[in-house]
Structure 1
Amino acid sequence: MSMAAKQLADKATAHLNSGRPKSAFKTARTGMKQFPKETFFANVCGIALAQQNNQRESIPYFRKALQLYPTNIDAQNNLVQALVSIGQADKALALIDKYMSTRKDHDNLLYFKAMAESHSGDHTAAESTLNSLLAEYPKVARAHNLLGAVLFSLGREDQALTAYEKALEIDPNSPDTLTNMALIQARANEMGKALGYVEKALTINPKHYLSLQRYGNLLNESGQTEKAIETFHKLLQIEPQSHDALLELATLSPAAEQPALQPIIDAALRKVPKNTLEHAFISLAKAKSALKLGNHAEADKWFAIGNAEFAAKVPFDQDRTRTELEAICGHFPADHSARVANEALSPAPIFVLGLPRSGTTLTEQVISSHPTVYGAGELPGIERGSRLFLDKNTPWDLPAAQELAHFYRSFLPEMPAETTAFVDKMPGNYKRIGFILSALPNAKIVHLIRDPREVALSMWHTVFSNPGQAYTFDQKTMAQELNDYRRYMNHWKSVFPDRILDLRYQDLVSDIEQVSKILADHCGLDWVPDMAHPERNAGAVRTASANQVRQPVHRKSLAKWKQHEQALTELITNLDPDLWPELGEG
């Protein structure tokens, strides 16, 4: 490299190291023009774009760098990571296999392989790759961190925590690991610890993208909405096309702030390629912003665009869920009494369940406002335990019920000493009422009932990260899931006619005091006035309802679907009138 080229290279590197990727890109582009045979400048252009979360645009520069110097290991690594980040893990894995035969740094390549496998959804393969890597290279902190993320995705939170702790022993100042630890602590209802981890990460790197995103989410979940908005604006300063920040700001910011946000959303829509997940998120941000300003037609248009893009990228297996319905109901005929465990769980479990967006979060807040009731949030134990049983394809009997009870206990968080009952508000547990009442005989079931058109509208307007809720991106599929929900509940009511409290959402928001007394009675609690004021509940809320439950109970969302009836035509048409006879009554 000539002296003039080296001066430009040093300048570009200094910009990168000081957190000025735009300046680095500009300098490196100048270097590419003046010294077209120098691979360094093309690689730096790609790095600068990637640092601005423009991974898709970075790829041609990494390819150019490799065209000039095919064995440039930095450019190879950068290209692999960029491909993974835009959802092209298959191409990344093919390159890794190619590089394995020519490179000696197999620790790096195995790490990238596991990262690609994880991003493609094959977490089991990623775990195997990481175990192989760590067996030979036990001091690779980022591998322990990635293993923690993989184990977390597999539902093995305790093992994930151990992996993160090992990563921090090696590198105690890793913002990535600290931010991942924050998520583990939040799941355990340790919001103070969670905020502490992510605040430490931001002290180390105030512009760390994932840390800022997680911090904003945690602030919102803990009721600090204004600070959350401020944090997402910081994220937007770092990355103007940040789909995470744009969607959260469109959701959280008041109507008065939406006009200033809309040009930023529009610019991002022009910049981000269509038919990508990023474009889907930003389309829904556009829709939510329009909705805040009362422009229903514009909102409906963009909700349709965004959900269609999500549906194309996140498929839903309707056949699998129908097979599961038939299998579950088949295990619980009318005569099931011989297969009920006899050991009561203490503290007593209260299961609040129903369709997503049916009022389960509000109901949990009501019940957990009682001084001896702990709001545990959405616990995965019943879902995972029942799925393990179904995968075995064995009869449901007393030992199976006892095994599920033991498995579920392992997911319970630490609770205050005075706790007499806890609330598990995993909505989808409506599919598993038979498992619950057989394994946990002292369980209380509270079932939220809400007009399916209201529920559907709310789901249509919400982005769910759980792949099991991908049906919400397509109205026909959503209608089929709503129909199956009604089939489940009809079955459970025939099997357990006296064990389920049906609670209408309309009643909950119309007379909160009376309904809170009914809930207290059903759950075996002495009613206290705080139960009629769930907005005062200081517990963290980690669902899409985080903002609504901080407000006094109101009836604003009742019959709101009528304002969007035309936009819900496909959903309404596919609701089975035999399963929903009440919809034809008015």
Structure 2
Amino acid sequence: MELAQLPQQGASQAWTPACSRAARSRNWPLMQQIATAWTRAEPESVQAWQSLSHACFEQKLFTESLDAFDVVLSLDPENFRQHVSAARIATAAERFERAQRHLTTADRLQPGASEVLLASCRLNYLTGKLQQAEHDCRQALAASPTLVPAYITLGQLCQGRLRREEVAAIQRLLAQTWLHPEYRAALLFTLGEALDHAKEYGAAFSAWQQANRVNMQLSQQEGIAYQRAEQDQELDILISLFPPGSASSVSHKKAAGTQSPQPIFVLGMPRSGTTLVESILASHSAVHGGGELPMLPEIHDELITMARRIGIEETRSVMQRKLARWREAYLAALPTPAGSDAGEKPGWVVDKQPLNFRSIGLIRLLFPDSPIIATERDALEIGLSIYRHDFSKNWPCAHRLEDIGHYLGLHRRLMAHWYALAPNHIHRLEHADMIKDSSAEIRSLLAFAGLTEEPACHEPHKTQRAVSTFSAVQVRQPVSAAFSGRARHYVSYLEPLKKNLSA
């Protein structure tokens, strides 16, 4: 339905199916347009504002999603479920204090409700209160034994160590035809982890395979697919834009007179140890862990689009004119650490966006004083770890072993270029070396970043900070080999990855 054909007032029966059709086709920008028009036509409609919030949330426009849901709460303030939804959005946006306020209100309105317990579990999980999170999760399941998200979160908390009755409950849920595809995929990933822990490796891989098939279908509905030719072309563009000999000098000291925090870049393939490195650095008193920040990928995409449109030589010229604006935009978007207004701001903010491995040449131009830490890990370990996790739309390669192998190969070739371009200005950190001698690796890491040694950096699992990646449980434990070596059980299954890695 075209927006111009929608009624302008008093006909929710027309707006509702229009939003529903956009949601079913996973066309979130269209749903946002329709819902925005709906809120203008019927500003007192709770459903209109919920639809707008949902559409924004699916596009990771968390501020806009929260703003829309504030209107929902003003229209329906005594509905505990609305406060639970607001808490979930705030948690996803990492507005944890705001999430807790909503949960406190929800619990007052409906004490002991399973929805409140589950949302509380998720919040405690991300903020490192793992025992309380597990308690909340099991309480939610006791109150509502078919609460699908609770099994998913419990699996993440327990790293696959689920009870037999919990695995059986997951299998019963997967047999239900009413299960939403997103929940089906997430439950299959959860089941795979549980079967892997039980050493049922064939069944575990089958579950992960089914989960990725569901996710691929969902991605295709949104028009998202891994484009090999485009990725190959992007690699060629980057090597042409930043040829050998174009590296500049670097100091790793804050520029004189710089008031705002400066970035430290931790980058590499996902599941290569970026979260652990960020946790080590963020345990330092002068460093704030910013997480996976979105601004540099946006700048990178602008650069690549420009190169495709006007060519390499013209792009080099335009790029030089844009550097100051890009640098200013990036610094303006850096997160402000909690409590920084009351005390001294940290000198550095860690940006651990894995995709930034594509942008090392750009980083060297924008932030020549910024340390760059590149994490490396065995390709099969990375590939399997990606395949057995429920990755977001930002990683369309994650659903097929062939595509994972291809992207790993691109990463390997591009990193070889960056290492040759700036051999002394990228700290290469091998995950295996960190496990073998973490003390030595941490000392070397801090020295490269120009940071003084602090005891907390050697015990990052004790640092109280929010972690919102798949490694949220792992980084709460001392560095060990407990999470490595899993690929040896799946070598025969990983042949498609291996073939494409060397292609």
TM-score, length-scaled by structure 1: 0.73
Is 1:460 matched with 2:382?
Answer: no
Given that 1:385 and 1:407 are in contact with CA atoms closer than 8 Å, whether structure 2 keeps it comes out as no
Please state how far the C-alpha of 1:109 moved relative to its aligned partner: 2.9
Give the counterpart of 1:537 among 463, 466, 470: 463
Matched with 1:406 is: 328
Residue type at the aligned position of 2:52: L
Distance 1:500 1:245 in 2: 41
Given that 1:262 and 1:286 are in contact with CA atoms closer than 8 Å, whether structure 2 keeps it comes out as yes
Matched with 2:27 is: 122
Distance 1:144 1:177 in 2: 12
Distance 2:246 2:120 in 1: 47
Matched with 2:280 is: 366
User: What SS is found at the alignment partner of 2:15?
Assistant: helix
Distance 2:375 2:56 in 1: 32
Please state how far the C-alpha of 1:235 moved relative to its aligned partner: 4.5
In structure 2, do the counterparts of structure 1 residues 405 and 449 end up closer, same or farther at CA, with 3 Å as the change threshold?
same
Distance 1:275 1:158 in 2: 26
Given that 1:374 and 1:421 are in contact with CA atoms closer than 8 Å, whether structure 2 keeps it comes out as yes
Distance 1:210 1:355 in 2: 35
Distance 1:547 1:294 in 2: 21
Structure number, greater radius of gyration: 1
Give the counterpart of 2:226 among 317, 338, 358: 317
In structure 2, do the counterparts of structure 1 residues 171 and 437 end up closer, same or farther at CA, with 3 Å as the change threshold?
farther
Distance 2:350 2:331 in 1: 13
Given that 1:221 and 1:546 are in contact with CA atoms closer than 8 Å, whether structure 2 keeps it comes out as yes
In structure 2, do the counterparts of structure 1 residues 115 and 264 end up closer, same or farther at CA, with 3 Å as the change threshold?
same
In structure 2, do the counterparts of structure 1 residues 280 and 159 end up closer, same or farther at CA, with 3 Å as the change threshold?
closer
Given that 1:272 and 1:278 are in contact with CA atoms closer than 8 Å, whether structure 2 keeps it comes out as no
User: What SS is found at the alignment partner of 2:373?
Assistant: strand
Given that 1:283 and 1:305 are in contact with CA atoms closer than 8 Å, whether structure 2 keeps it comes out as yes
In structure 2, do the counterparts of structure 1 residues 168 and 525 end up closer, same or farther at CA, with 3 Å as the change threshold?
same
Given that 2:287 and 2:348 are in contact with CA atoms closer than 8 Å, whether structure 1 keeps it comes out as yes
Please state how far the C-alpha of 1:311 moved relative to its aligned partner: 2.9
Matched with 1:287 is: 192
Is 1:327 matched with 2:237?
Answer: yes
Matched with 1:514 is: 440
Please state how far the C-alpha of 1:121 moved relative to its aligned partner: 3.4
The range that moved more, 161-170 or 270-279, is: 270-279
Residue type at the aligned position of 2:234: E
Residue type at the aligned position of 2:332: S
Aligned residues: 479
In structure 2, do the counterparts of structure 1 residues 497 and 172 end up closer, same or farther at CA, with 3 Å as the change threshold?
farther
Structure 2: unaligned runs, 5 residues or longer: none
The range that moved more, 114-123 or 405-414, is: 114-123
The range that moved more, 328-337 or 467-476, is: 328-337
Residue type at the aligned position of 2:131: E
Distance 2:178 2:51 in 1: 28
Matched with 2:374 is: 447
In structure 2, do the counterparts of structure 1 residues 499 and 118 end up closer, same or farther at CA, with 3 Å as the change threshold?
farther
Matched with 1:229 is: 134
Distance 1:538 1:571 in 2: 37
In structure 2, do the counterparts of structure 1 residues 249 and 112 end up closer, same or farther at CA, with 3 Å as the change threshold?
same
User: What SS is found at the alignment partner of 1:448?
Assistant: strand
In structure 2, do the counterparts of structure 1 residues 296 and 155 end up closer, same or farther at CA, with 3 Å as the change threshold?
closer
Is 1:215 matched with 2:120?
Answer: yes
Matched with 1:433 is: 360
Identity of aligned residues (%): 23
Q: How does 1:573-584 map to 2 (within 5 A)?
A: 573-576=499-502
Distance 2:466 2:52 in 1: 27
The range that moved more, 135-144 or 288-297, is: 135-144
CA deviation map 1:168-191 (0-9, x unaligned): 344444556544544564466542
CA deviation map 1:33-53 (0-9, x unaligned): xxxxxxxxxxxxxxxxxxxxx
The two structures, once aligned, show a CA RMSD in angstroms of 3.3
Residue type at the aligned position of 2:240: G
Given that 2:247 and 2:364 are in contact with CA atoms closer than 8 Å, whether structure 1 keeps it comes out as no
The range that moved more, 220-229 or 509-518, is: 220-229
Distance 2:81 2:365 in 1: 42
Matched with 1:70 is: none
Given that 1:175 and 1:208 are in contact with CA atoms closer than 8 Å, whether structure 2 keeps it comes out as no
Distance 2:92 2:326 in 1: 21
User: What SS is found at the alignment partner of 2:285?
Assistant: coil
Distance 1:157 1:271 in 2: 32
Please state how far the C-alpha of 1:234 moved relative to its aligned partner: 4.6
In structure 2, do the counterparts of structure 1 residues 137 and 231 end up closer, same or farther at CA, with 3 Å as the change threshold?
same
Residue type at the aligned position of 1:318: Q
Distance 1:384 1:362 in 2: 25
User: What SS is found at the alignment partner of 2:288?
Assistant: strand
Give the counterpart of 2:473 among 530, 547, 551: 547
Please state how far the C-alpha of 1:299 moved relative to its aligned partner: 1.9
In structure 2, do the counterparts of structure 1 residues 439 and 273 end up closer, same or farther at CA, with 3 Å as the change threshold?
same
Distance 1:213 1:174 in 2: 17
Matched with 1:353 is: 267
Please state how far the C-alpha of 1:288 moved relative to its aligned partner: 1.4
Matched with 1:388 is: 302
In structure 2, do the counterparts of structure 1 residues 520 and 132 end up closer, same or farther at CA, with 3 Å as the change threshold?
same
Please state how far the C-alpha of 1:454 moved relative to its aligned partner: 0.8
Distance 1:114 1:313 in 2: 18
CA deviation map 1:491-544 (0-9, x unaligned): 222333332110000111222211111111111110111111111111111000
CA deviation map 1:119-178 (0-9, x unaligned): 533232223223322333233344334334433444544444433334434444455654
In structure 2, do the counterparts of structure 1 residues 275 and 321 end up closer, same or farther at CA, with 3 Å as the change threshold?
farther
Distance 2:72 2:180 in 1: 36
Higher relative contact order at CA 8 Å, sep ≥6: structure 1 or structure 2? 2
Distance 1:302 1:480 in 2: 23
CA deviation map 1:309-364 (0-9, x unaligned): 333433432234334333344332335579x9x99683121111111111110111
Matched with 1:379 is: 293
Distance 2:213 2:50 in 1: 34
In structure 2, do the counterparts of structure 1 residues 127 and 406 end up closer, same or farther at CA, with 3 Å as the change threshold?
farther
Given that 1:344 and 1:441 are in contact with CA atoms closer than 8 Å, whether structure 2 keeps it comes out as no
